[in-house]
Structure 1
Amino acid sequence: MGSHPLPVPVTPAGRDGLAALLAAPQRAVVALDFDGTLAEIVPDPEQARAHPGAVPALARLAPRLGSVAVITGRPAEVAVRYGGFAGAPGLEHLVVLGHYGAERWDAATAAVTAPEPPPGVAAARAELPGILAGSGVGQGVWIEDKGRAVAVHTRRAPHPQAAFDALCEPVSALAERHALIVEPGRLVLELRPPGVDKGAALASYVRESGAGCVLYAGDDLGDLAAFAAVEQLRSEGLPGLLVCSGSSEVAELAERADLVVDGPAGVVELLTALADRLADRLGSESGSGSGSGSGPGLG
């Protein structure tokens, strides 16, 4: 144990957040984005899978914490499948908040709960092919149906950034017509209902859990709302640690993070180092570790 050194956050608030997590892990929420954080970004999102070390690291860490949640724009069931979370030993109380919190999957029941999708998403989805055809962006741009959201990807276009730039205005106009918002990301434009974002999902979950501290890790512009939620919680006296799964594509997130790690592999190393530190503190793996936070919440 202890073979993975624990990195030191560069900010005082981040160091306070890490210290709070280590001091009282049974009251900690660790929340993680999926794509770009637990899984590498790939040209075809349907081929995304969790880093091979992600589930083993989470399985070691989760029983020592109050709660672990994955917060993603994907449908919850898709994130569970691509993550390999279902039935994983040690993750019996994992929660996946899909569609930015509009859906929820609980490992304890293996059930997804969600309200009906808003009608504006279906209307926008029907119009998008015509908008792409009229934009002159060429081949390689494609539409991903997320159920509660719809996304336009340009990563596979001959000129990905040019296609992205050309689509920003017409896609934004489409969103406005149907009372949706546009969430730009790493060569993707996502249309979804307003008032639904990772920040709202994270803040609600932290409060529901009765957490004493929170760690959030993300990699993209959609994670800025979650960063802002942690910053707000910190202003209210709840310690927090902001982790950026490092990407040169999203400098804004790295600049606001307390700790920048090297992509999903770096996130896995951080989770493993946390598990090592808590195991060292609480005893051997077969000892008292699971008693500190194996329940479904922090209550």
Structure 2
Amino acid sequence: MDFTSADGEQRYADLVAHAESVIVGLDFDGTLAPIVDDPGSAHIHPEAPEVLTDLAEVVRAVAVVTGRPARQALALGGLDEVGDAIGGRGRELYLFGQYGNERWTSTNRRVITPRPPAGLATFERELPRVLRGADAAEAFVEDKGLAVAVHTRRLDDPDGAFERLVKPIGDLAERHGLTVEPGRQVLEVRSHGMHKGLVVEYLAEHLEAGGFLFAGDDLGDLEAFEAVLDLRSRGLSTLLVCSASREQSALRDLADVVVAGPDGVLDLLRQLTRDAA
């Protein structure tokens, strides 16, 4: 792992010293699972289940915090089985889907989810016209139930299509009282009022955290990073981990540690488990 400063190295040492009270929050895509062209095939890294199970023994809690629907993350991550393994060691796995709108734990196996936001169905009906107008009619549209994601990764010019879509999709979302969350070649439209930062705040308060590590890879994790920085300002031991790739990462400047994608994230978690044992 590459620390971004001497302060980052010290923060890691402090986190190890307080490991028993530390919550580890992890994004899914780009952090636990490699980024792929087809979102439906973004399976968790094959070594992640064992790493997360071992980690759970030395920290307060492990939580997966993702923009994906919770049931989809459960299936692609095999998180039911991971939860069983963690439960077998007397700990609990937390899953927050759709930026925290959906919740699941390995103790209570039911996904708690609200109704879809008002305006989302109308937005989706009007979306094809916007895509055609931006010369991106072939963009992949993913219906997440509580959100709609427009992926440009499969197009011939994914970055160009993404830039052309930012304003018209933003305008359409605003007309229907929705918000846009940009990511790696994806624009996700959902309701206002929930983001990963609120999940960090909830976990820290609900589990009485003495420290917090969060690992993410793109703009959808920015609020989580900011919430961890707020915990840091209140005296908690914290560590921010950027799961970087060849694509631009929006989180590098805030991170204490930069690692190379899911492989690097798992290497860091293995090291944390060894150092805290």
- Mark the CA change 1:90 to 1:22 in structure 2 (over 3 Å): closer, same or farther: farther
- Secondary structure of the corresponding residue to residue 91 of structure 1: helix
- Whole-angstrom CA distance in 2 between matches of 1:240 and 1:257: 11
Task: Give the one of 125, 143, 156 matched to 2:141.
Answer: 143
1:186 is matched with which residue: 180, 184, 187? 184
Q: 2:47 aligns with which of 47, 53, 61?
A: 53
Q: Counterparts of 1:11 and 1:71 in 2: how far apart (Å)?
A: 26
Partner Cα distance (1:124, 1:91) in 2: 40
Which deviates more, 9-18 or 122-131? 9-18
Whether contact under 8 Å (2:128, 2:137) holds in the other structure is no
For the residue of structure 2 that corresponds to 1:36, the secondary structure is coil
Larger mean CA deviation between 89-98 and 164-173 belongs to 89-98
Note the residue ranges of structure 2 that are not aligned, 5 or more in a row.
Answer: none
Is contact 1:13-1:241 (8 Å) kept? no
Q: Provide the rounded CA distance (Å) in 2 between the counterparts of 1:230 and 1:68.
A: 15
Correspondent of 2:214 among 192, 213, 216? 216
- Secondary structure of 2:171 counterpart: helix
| Cross-structure match for 2:132 | 133
Range that drifts further, 198-207 or 84-93: 84-93
* Kept after mapping to 2: 8 A contact 1:16/1:239: no
Structure 2 length-normalised TM: 0.93
Task: Give 1:165 deviation, angstroms.
Answer: 1.2
Whether contact under 8 Å (1:215, 1:241) holds in the other structure is yes
Q: Distance in 1 between matches of 2:11 and 2:114?
A: 34
Q: Give the total of aligned pairs.
A: 272
Question: Counterparts of 2:153 and 2:4 in 1: how far apart (Å)?
Answer: 32
2: CA distance, partners of 1:185 / 1:249: 11
Matched, 1:104 2:99: no
The answer to which of 201-210 and 255-264 deviates more is 201-210
Deviation at 1:18, TM superposition (A): 2.1
- CA-based RMSD: 1.5
Bigger relative contact order, structure 1 or 2 (CA pairs below 8 A, ≥6 apart): 1
Give 1:87 deviation, angstroms.
2.5
1:162-218 residue CA offsets vs partner (Å, 9 max, x unmatched): 111111111011111011111111110111111211111111211111000000000
Runs of 4+ in 1 over 6 A off after TM superposition: none
**Identity of paired residues, percent?**
47
Q: Normalising to structure 1: TM-score of the pair?
A: 0.87
